[in-house]
Chains A and B, each alone.
Chain A
Amino acid sequence: MPDATGLELLAQEIGEPALGTLHFRGKGTLIVDPGSIRGVLQTLKGKGFEFLSSVHGVDYYPEEPRLGVHYELIDMDKVDRICVKLRVGTDAPNVPSVTPDWPGANHQEREVFDMFGVVFDGHPNMRRILMPEDYEGHPQRRDFPIGGEPVLFTADEAKGDAYTMDV
């Protein structure tokens, strides 16, 4: 993990897109501006972080901007990890896709789109991946109801509702 000073130097090198840094529990994080994510990842690739291990989304509801996308990078030679985070709001949830540079982000960006609604511009196949194609809504957002069936208790069974469909 780049230590705190290394992280600050890295942020300085990246320059304007870096909105902040965070060093938490021994790991460094760069918070960047969404529009410049491709450039930032290319810079980090030049610094040795050549392996993109994970792209995942977070919903920071009720804080704004609400939707976050995190990129986990590994430097296999120096055995280092760094995380790059960006945040977008639901009104303009567009982030440039990094799939052209990092093919491993393909399915992962589709999953972030499916679950959170972040649209990745430039992605070759921006469709839902886990939910059915015609599903409406983005399930892992915090204000999406968890759904499910109400539990049928014995007392309710006596009322004659054989299934909980009427509830």
Chain B
Amino acid sequence: MEIERRPAGQAPTDFRIRQLRAKDLLAGNLEGDDLQRHVEESIITTTLDKAVAWARGNAMFPATFGLACCAIEMMSIVAARVDVARFGFEAFRASPRQADLLILSGRVSIKMAPIVRRIWDQMLEPKWSIAMGACSSSMGVFNNYAIVPADKFMPVAVHVPGCPPRPEALMHGILKLRQQIVTGPDAGWRERYEAIGTEEIVMLPQTTGDARA
């Protein structure tokens, strides 16, 4: 039988030892240094922001927003081969009020652009968007009168290139976004994109004449 020498302070990798310690903790038998060490090893402490960011990143609800060919590859990530459910994103919500990720998959025509913008506005903070494919990022294959690149009317966090991007590529884009969310606690998209001054002032049709941003 080999004797393993380990520097002090490291978590014992032996499951039995940890189990016995945990039993001791529950029975109230651990004290002092033992207790301190056990708590540090087995409980994760963090700030509330980071915890919330971690939770947000791991449970995003994408909105069902398939426009064109990229939508088929977006459906492929829900399918069994590139399974997006293992990251927690399989709950595609049809209602924008319940979604927090808008995957713009496909070409945005000039007729559709105001509608995309309206859906984006209806989504509640915090929200992110991924421009999937070449057409939504930058008009793609079609440089003509009928298409608008998404950056012209809404903020986009991640652009995934491809025509259409492989499901693995879209997965990579989503995971990159998740990394952004988890490492940087969200502050709302206006601050994130320094979009001060883009608020729409709506005059209420009333005698008070209030301006509301």
Contacts and interface: CB of A to CB of B under 8 A. Distances in A.
Interface of A: 131-132, 139, 144-149, 151, 163
A148 B140 CA distance: 11
Contacts, number: 27
B43 to A, nearest CB: 47
Contacts of B151: 163
A131 B144 contact: no
B149 A131 contact: no
B139 interface: yes
18 contacts: A131-B110, A131-B111, A131-B146, A132-B110, A132-B111, A139-B146, A144-B145, A147-B144, A147-B145, A147-B146, A148-B142, A148-B145, A148-B147, A149-B139, A149-B143, A149-B149, A151-B143, A163-B152
A146 B111 contact: no
A79 B145 CA distance: 40
Interface string B148-170: 01011000000000000000000
Nearest to B111: A132
A149 B147 CA distance: 9
Contacts of B147: 148
B142 to A, nearest CB: 8
Contacts of B152: 163
Contacts of B145: 139, 144-148
Contacts of A147: 144-146
Nearest to A146: B144
A139 B146 CA distance: 9
A149 B152 CA distance: 11
Given A131-B110, A132-B110, A148-B139, 20 more contacts: A132-B111, A139-B145, A139-B146, A144-B145, A145-B145, A146-B143, A146-B145, A147-B144, A147-B146, A148-B142, A148-B143, A148-B144, A148-B145, A148-B147, A149-B139, A149-B143, A149-B149, A151-B143, A163-B151, A163-B152
Contacts of A131: 110-111, 146
